[in-house]
């Protein structure tokens, strides 16, 4: 008699879902241990961009897709989930252009994910953002986000934070992203960062485009028209080089002052992974073929992002380019989902240390300090101040520290308030 398979499916909800990069990776993630199969099942997803929502709906029929501003979203009516994923908008944390961190329009949107965690208490979550998050607001952004995520839900979450280099996981692109994996503390399950699979054998852009070749009738594979001056300019630029590395005739040069972005009219190198594919396209940032004198098609961009050829993007050329550039590479995120499932199934796998250790973001450090401060003496005050300065706590943290002094003698409280008033925190 054949063994009956027991299926454990984690119901997945997504905020800021994009066109479906996370969804594709999650849908392909599956592990089996004995007679038990672990996999993901999509329940609901939300984004605010109309074409993006339509793309998601076309490729994931039956999933509830809510297309609206997250600030107007009724989080309480989304539906129960076991797993949650969100690539909260990264514009304000990106190293491309001006980084505004929490001061920008998008910096605080991660808090809507906190609301989901508090409402539905999923067993695990995966949060994605750009590599620049580690340095945003002088490193304080990541500390604040980690602090809030670690305390979300009924039981809190054990966090594993790592900067993934997706070219080391089979993605033909140097795309680096911070991924935060959180597992309900009550479950006592430990997630480890999966070891790279292609660190010494990158998938090249030539392999991505030619193995196998893109079908002639593939969706979203239209070649965009190029002006004669762009075509002429590209004839001078060698594969892997950009316009600034190329000697050009006077009439083909760009008159640009200040910073010169390395991606301007940069051609792909056929023997290396692509540089990072973005959602922009103006000013020579479309991404350019290594052999043909033209910009990449959207299907070629999708190949670089590891979307399957039967994945259909909805919208005009610019909209599709935006969707592809802002998506999470399915093949990269699949490895992470599979590692989470292996953690739940108690299947061992090759792993490496997380690149961002707990001491780097200190989610428990301040709480531990609060617990111990009541035992501190007046002689410890200066030592405590030095400690907090070295840890680079923000203004709010030091105000909380001052409040803690209320447990101590009035003299200590006055001392803290004096520091507050004297500009110590500025």
pLDDT per residue as tens, the chain (426 positions): 567 899 999 999 999 999 999 999 999 999 999 999 999 999 999 999 999 999 999 999 999 999 999 999 999 999 999 999 998 875 444 333 444 444 444 447 889 999 999 999 999 999 998 766 655 555 677 888 999 999 999 999 999 999 999 999 999 999 999 999 999 999 999 999 999 999 999 999 999 999 999 998 999 999 988 899 999 999 999 999 999 999 999 999 988 776 567 889 999 999 999 999 988 877 788 899 999 999 999 999 999 999 999 999 999 999 999 999 999 999 999 999 999 999 999 999 999 999 987 656 654 544 444 444 444 444 444 444 444 444 444 444 444 444 444 444 344 444 444 444 444 333
Q: What is the pLDDT of residue 405?
A: 40
Residue at a domain's end among 321, 341, 361: 361
Tell how strand 83-86 and strand 64-67 pair up.
unpaired
Cis link prior to 112 (omega < 30° from 0)? Answer: no
- Give how many domains the chain has, as a whole number: 2
Distance (Å, whole) CA 167 – CA 332: 8
Of 361, 379, 410, the one marking the end of a domain is: 361
Q: Does residue 142 belong to any structural domain of this protein?
A: yes
Contact indicator for 282, 317 with CB cutoff of 8 Å: no
Pairing of strands 6-15, 36-47: parallel
The phi and psi torsions of 22 (rounded to 5 degrees) equal -65, -40
Please say which residue of 361, 383, 401 terminates a domain. Answer: 361
Q: Is residue 307 part of a domain?
A: no
Q: Tell me, what's the pLDDT at 407?
A: 40
Q: Which residues lie closer than 8 Å to 394 by C-beta, 6 or more apart? A: 140, 143, 144
In the DSSP assignment, the letter for residue 123 is: S
- 90 catalytic? Reply is yes
pTM: 0.81
Is 193 in the same domain as 166? yes
Asked whether 152 and 118 are in contact (CB, 8 A), the reply is yes
Residue 310 counted as domain residue: no
Token pair for 407: 């447990």
Residue 369 and residue 357 share a domain: no
Residue 216, SS3?
coil
Give a yes or no: residue 74 inside a domain.
yes
Q: How many CB atoms within 10 Å of residue 90?
A: 22
In a domain, 254, yes or no: no
Same-domain status, 11 and 32: yes
User: Using omega within 30 degrees of 0 as the cis cutoff, is the peptide bond preceding 212 cis?
Assistant: yes
Claim to verify: residue 12 and residue 37 sit in the same structural domain: yes
Do β-strands 30-33 and 351-352 pair in parallel, antiparallel, or remain unpaired?
A: unpaired
63, part of any domain: yes
Residue showing tokens 């190949």: 303
Main-chain phi, psi angles of 162, to 5 degrees: -145, 145
Cα 313 to Cα 55: distance, rounded to the nearest angstrom: 5
pLDDT number for residue 387: 44
Closest CA to 304 of 275, 280, 333: 275
The three-class DSSP label of residue 125 is strand
Pairing of strands 83-86, 124-130: parallel
Predicted pLDDT at 138:
53
395 belongs to a structural domain: yes
Q: Domain of 82: which CATH number?
A: 3.40.50.150
Residues 63 and 117 in one domain: yes
In the block, tokens 């925190």 appear at 425
Indicate which residue of 17, 53, 90, 404 is catalytic. 90
Name the residue range of residue 94's domain.
Answer: 6-202+329-361
As to burial, measured by CB atoms within 10 angstroms (0-12 exposed, 13-18 middle, 19+ buried), residue 337 is buried
Cα 191 to Cα 7, 37, 162, 340: the distances in Å are 21, 18, 11, 6
């Amino acid at each position: 008699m054949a063994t009956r398979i027991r299926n454990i499916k984690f119901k997945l909800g997504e905020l800021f879902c994009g066109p479906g990069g996370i969804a594709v990776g999650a849908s392909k993630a599956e592990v089996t241990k004995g007679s038990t199969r672990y996999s993901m099942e999509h329940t609901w997803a939300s984004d605010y961009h109309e074409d993006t929502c339509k793309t998601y709906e076309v490729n994931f029929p039956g999933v509830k897709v809510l297309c609206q501003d997250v600030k107007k979203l009724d989080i309480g009516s989304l539906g129960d989930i076991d797993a949650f994923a969100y690539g909260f908008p990264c514009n304000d944390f990106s190293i491309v252009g001006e980084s505004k961190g929490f001061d920008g329009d998008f910096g605080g949107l991660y808090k809507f994910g906190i609301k989901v965690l508090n409402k539905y208490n999923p067993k695990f979550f995966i949060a994605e953002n750009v590599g620049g998050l580690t340095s945003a607001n002088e490193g304080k952004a990541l500390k604040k986000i980690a602090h809030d995520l670690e305390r979300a839900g009924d039981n809190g979450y054990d966090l594993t934070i790592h900067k993934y280099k997706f070219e080391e996981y089979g993605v033909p692109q140097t795309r680096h992203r911070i991924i935060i994996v959180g597992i309900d503390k009550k479950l006592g399950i430990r997630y480890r960062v999966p070891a790279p699979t292609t660190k010494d054998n990158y998938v090249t852009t030539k392999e991505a485009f030619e193995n196998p070749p893109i079908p002639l009738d593939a969706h979203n594979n239209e070649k965009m028209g190029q002006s004669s001056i762009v075509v002429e300019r590209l004839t001078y630029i060698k594969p892997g080089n950009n316009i600034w590395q190329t000697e050009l005739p006077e009439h083909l040069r760009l008159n640009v002052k200040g910073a010169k972005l390395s991606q301007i009219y940069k051609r792909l190198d056929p023997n290396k992974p692509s540089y990072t594919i973005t959602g922009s396209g103006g000013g020579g940032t479309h991404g350019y073929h290594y052999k043909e004198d033209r910009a990449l098609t959207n299907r070629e961009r999708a190949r670089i992002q590891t979307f399957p050829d039967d994945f259909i993007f909805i919208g005009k050329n610019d909209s599709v380019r935006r969707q592809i550039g802002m998506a999470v590479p399915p093949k990269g995120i699949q490895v992470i989902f599979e590692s989470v499932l292996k953690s739940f199934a108690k299947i061992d796998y090759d792993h490496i240390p997380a690149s961002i250790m707990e001491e780097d973001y200190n989610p428990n450090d301040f709480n531990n300090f609060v617990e111990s401060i009541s035992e501190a003496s007046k002689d410890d005050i200066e030592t405590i101040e030095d400690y907090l300065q070295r840890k680079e706590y923000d203004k709010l943290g030091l105000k909380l520290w001052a409040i803690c002094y209320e447990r101590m003698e009035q003299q200590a409280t006055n001392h803290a308030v004096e520091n507050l008033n004297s500009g110590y925190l500025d």
